[in-house]
Structure 1
Amino acid sequence: MCQYIKTMQFSCSWKNVTVFTMLGRQLLSYKRFVAFVMIVGCISMMIMCMKLRHHHLRKHKKSIVNKADLNDVIDNWSGWLWKHTEPTTIAPTDSAVLSDQAEHFDIEYNPPLRRGLTCNDLMDSASIETLTVRMNVAVVNKNVTISDAMFHTLTTTDDCRYFAYSRGYTSKPVTQEELDFPLAFGILIHKDVYQFEQLLRTIYRPQNSYCIHVDKLAPDDVHIAVQSIVKCFKNVYIASQLVHVAWGTSSRITAEMACQLDALKRNKKWKYFINLTGQDFPLKTNIEIVRILREFNGQNDIMNTREVHLNRLFYVHKDIADVVVNTYTLRTDPLPKNINVRRGDLPCALSRQFVQYLHHSDAGKDWLKWLDKSSFPEESFYHSLASTSSVPGGPGPRDVSQIISRVNSWSIDNQTCNGERVNRVCIYTWEQLPWLTRQPHLFANRFDASRDGLVLRCLEEALNRRTYSPVAFNTGVYKIFAETRLLNSTEQSWQILA
């Protein structure tokens, strides 16, 4: 070292040690500088790669789907302020990032309204007829038509976090009361994934459990589209057993039972199981549903009447090419022990204890096996078992002709229907929004976005508003109902208006 320094006209003596120290410091500074340049270079290359990938994704998405701008959607649905207490939601992505990623999901989110018309106008109008003329010119298109083949291109694995937040899954506040009272849902679908996704995002909460049964014979596009959604959520899953659901056969019960069993295995805490279809939609927020079901105190919400169709039960029926045929051969096998045949509509809210009884008791298994040769067994399966006093949740032997779980407008009930009727059930339109918002029920059936998506848009908007700004809530109405099982024209009394 001394020889090297001498060649640089320095003397190798202790007097010049300060020169050696200075050279060392300069060498270390040079290494730090090189390291800094390398780090900056790596970061720059990573940013360039991300930009190139983002540009490629945007180009690829646009080549698959012809879509419109979603910026208004982000403003309307993802920009809600968190006004509720005790939120336990995922922190929102930076708004600039959301806006930049919006092109990945730039589909027409809901039918647009013009000329200053709002959903509040449609829901709160005292005379809906006065809005008819304005509606004809204000709504560009009431229908929502996004094909199932197109839908699965909107939910890639890389976009799951953005998809969940921008669609409102993880941006909603959740209270401790809701966390302490989780729910389980079984949803049966066979088409219209867009409408199903609107239902799912509206009822979704992270503590709940959601089993999706997709008809085994549904088109591949439906299965792929649903899979692209459920893979983004740990508590949303496809039923482990899929069957083809044929109208009037026991397959409907089989599908629901598959979801119940999965829900029991996956989530040990849920309190009630609510059965839905893709054509249902909520009338209440999650916290409202929780408070309503709390008033039931473990009781089931099941219709239970003595009006039984004897020919459907006591003649042998066969399923021939998805058509239930009565052979007019009287059954010779006796009813299972302790079964008192009852009848009711299928929609219900079942306590966890009752669902466990269905799956683990011999009575439940024997009754389901006996019903396999009947037609429309879903009208008697839950109902007959629940009429036995010893079965958990009841309602026991008393007649129950009304439920709070679901509202339908049947032609036999002389309910007004502004839309079409399919199998005697009304397909709701925007003109029935004032009536729907007054109902005390948890859900309504039936909706069809391809006929009128505006009614769903406005109901979802109202639910989102109450989710972030809850209204005064009259649980006394439901406590009385749980005791009497009579609605007594309660309509708007479920909500105490300020």
Structure 2
Amino acid sequence: MTVRWRQAVHRLRPRCFLFTGSLLLLCLLRLLCVRVSVRGGLYLQPSVSSPRAQRYDINCTAVYELEPVEIGRSLQLRRTLTVEEDSSAVSLTSDCQMFLRSRGYHEVSVRDTERSFPLAYSLVVHKNAPMVERILRAIYAPHNVYCIHYDQKSSPAFIRAMQNIAHCLPNVFISSQLESVVYAHISRLRADLHCLSDLLQAHSAWRYVINLCGQDFPLRTNYELVQELRALNGSNMLESSRPSLLKRQRFTFQHQLKTVPYEYRSIPVKTRATKAPPPHGVQVFMGSAYFVLTRAFVQFVQSSPVARDVLAWSEDTYSPDEHFWATMVRVPGAPGHIPRSAPDVSDLISKTRLVKWNYLEGSLYPACTGVHMRSVCIYGAAELRWLLNYGHWFANKFDLKVDPVLIQCLEEKLLERRRSLSVRTA
């Protein structure tokens, strides 16, 4: 090799290294992530060629039958699970055609009886986008209508995932008014009220509206739910009970929003100031934040001076969503109202939500096979059979980070029911 040739190679070598390094870096970025901007913030979104919800190799029929070996396998899978992040939901929903095809939204079949009885949903959510998408897929029907209210404090990735879903599905939309939701505060009630107002304006003649949070899951197919709602014959389904002395303090004393040094950061705190009695001589009942309401009842709440004044009176109470609906359904003249003299409607009677409280396990419920959070069970796979056969329409709480096998098996069992009903009614 001549001296001139060596000099030429020496001059080219840094350029080759620079070019090769740049190419490798470009490939790495392409494989790992793309940068996405949401409301001025930046986050990394994993790039996938065929996004799908994560699936596990499990025999759900064996889990349903409580076969020890398969229950053991579900526990083993639970210990080794890979947590899906909000960014994975962004990837899943970023290409509408791929998203709808991979998750089977176009494959949802409905009968004429379902189509003639459309439903509406209000989903008030704030985190865990993969779980929210799984809930939506489980309750989805093309003739129903869905309002999503996300918390203004939610992460950019979560917000983008919700916006993507609404963009991909014409019967799903984001609430026109968004709250920064605070636990046990009036903002939680307002979030549902915003969605209810939007749903009344939607181009759908829905019959009933159901509200859900990000840790709920259905226990019935849309067809089964419609059959049970028809049987209500215009009645509402929700809890409504006379309050205990302890719970009366929630609305007999004024509460102020204060910063606290634990999980919620700020909550309404009781003061010594007593409140005036509720307006219009209304008797306050307690229930939960969750309901199944007729369209006529929602229209009544939106237009009634009684509802407006009770809502204003509730501004400084603790967790007003747990007494507002339970109280309004007892107002004489409200569509589908429950007479004040009627017995309490507890969470065991109301089919809106099945919740397992740890202090009732062993007496009313079997033991929780998942974990507990603030006295409530986050279900495990061994509760699959109990959940599906108890008789309620929805249950709380579920979490992909606690037991994704249970969510997968619920999806499979509901799909089996849907297919079985299609064969029987064909």
Whether TM-score is above 0.5 comes out as yes
1:256-283 deviation digits (Å, cap 9, x = unpaired): 0000000000134000110100110111
- Quote how far apart the aligned CAs of 1:442 are: 0.9
Cα distance in structure 2, aligned partners of 1:163 and 1:178: 25
1:366-405 deviation digits (Å, cap 9, x = unpaired): 0000011111111110111111231101122212222111
1:311 and 2:249 correspond: yes
Cα distance in structure 2, aligned partners of 1:361 and 1:374: 20
Decide whether aligned partners of structure 1 residues 222 and 266 sit closer, same or farther in structure 2, where only a CA change above 3 A counts.
same
1:150 and 2:100 correspond: no
2:9 paired residue number: none
1:30 paired residue number: none
1:370 and 2:313 correspond: yes
2:64 paired residue number: 123
2:406 paired residue number: 455
Whether the 8 Å CA contact 1:111–1:141 is kept in 2: the answer is no
Whether the 8 Å CA contact 1:112–1:140 is kept in 2: the answer is no
2:285 paired residue number: 342
1:327 is aligned, of 262, 265, 271, to: 271
2:332 is aligned, of 371, 380, 389, to: 389
- What's the RMSD between the two structures over aligned residues? 2.3
Equivalent runs, 1:340-489 vs 2, <5 Å: 340-397=283-340, 398-399=342-343, 400-401=345-346, 402-414=349-361, 415=365, 416-470=367-421
Cα distance in structure 1, aligned partners of 2:98 and 2:226: 28
Between structures 1 and 2, the one with greater strand share:
2
2:57 paired residue number: 112
Decide whether aligned partners of structure 1 residues 394 and 258 sit closer, same or farther in structure 2, where only a CA change above 3 A counts.
same
Cα distance in structure 2, aligned partners of 1:144 and 1:210: 29
Cα distance in structure 1, aligned partners of 2:157 and 2:124: 16
1:42 paired residue number: none
Task: Specify the code of the residue in structure 2 equivalent to 1:110.
Answer: R
Task: Specify the code of the residue in structure 1 equivalent to 2:143.
Answer: Q
2:12 paired residue number: none
Whether the 8 Å CA contact 1:341–1:380 is kept in 2: the answer is yes
Query: TM-score, normalised on structure 2?
Result: 0.82
2:33 is aligned, of 60, 64, 68, to: 64
1:254 is aligned, of 181, 190, 195, to: 190
- Quote how far apart the aligned CAs of 1:141 are: 5.7
Q: Secondary structure at the match of 1:469?
A: helix
2:202 paired residue number: 266
Decide whether aligned partners of structure 1 residues 380 and 439 sit closer, same or farther in structure 2, where only a CA change above 3 A counts.
same
Equivalent runs, 1:172-187 vs 2, <5 Å: 172-187=108-123
Cα distance in structure 2, aligned partners of 1:432 and 1:230: 32
Cα distance in structure 1, aligned partners of 2:142 and 2:273: 50
Q: Secondary structure at the match of 1:170?
A: helix
Cα distance in structure 2, aligned partners of 1:222 and 1:204: 20
Equivalent runs, 1:204-219 vs 2, <5 Å: 204-219=140-155
1:226 paired residue number: 162
Whether the 8 Å CA contact 2:255–2:268 is kept in 1: the answer is yes
1:200-241 deviation digits (Å, cap 9, x = unpaired): 111111111100010111111111111111100111011111
1:197 and 2:138 correspond: no
Cα distance in structure 2, aligned partners of 1:255 and 1:438: 32
- Quote how far apart the aligned CAs of 1:354 are: 0.5
Unaligned runs of 5+ in 2: 1-26, 35-47, 260-265
Task: Specify the code of the residue in structure 2 equivalent to 1:411.
Answer: N
How high is the sequence identity, in percent, across the aligned residues? Answer: 33
1:123-155 deviation digits (Å, cap 9, x = unpaired): 123xx5564445456x38663522113321332
Whether the 8 Å CA contact 2:52–2:102 is kept in 1: the answer is no
Decide whether aligned partners of structure 1 residues 189 and 134 sit closer, same or farther in structure 2, where only a CA change above 3 A counts.
closer
1:56-92 deviation digits (Å, cap 9, x = unpaired): xx99874428xxxxxxxxxxxxxxxxxxxxxxxxxxx
Q: Which structure's CA Rg is the greater one?
A: 1
Task: Specify the code of the residue in structure 2 equivalent to 1:310.
Answer: R
Cα distance in structure 2, aligned partners of 1:204 and 1:258: 21
Task: Specify the code of the residue in structure 2 equivalent to 1:154.
Answer: L
Cα distance in structure 2, aligned partners of 1:306 and 1:271: 28
Whether the 8 Å CA contact 2:51–2:102 is kept in 1: the answer is no
Cα distance in structure 2, aligned partners of 1:144 and 1:179: 38
- Quote how far apart the aligned CAs of 1:190 are: 0.8
Decide whether aligned partners of structure 1 residues 129 and 140 sit closer, same or farther in structure 2, where only a CA change above 3 A counts.
closer
Unaligned runs of 5+ in 1: 1-57, 66-102, 474-498
Of residues 128-137 and 143-152 in structure 1, the stretch that sits farther from structure 2 once superposed is: 128-137
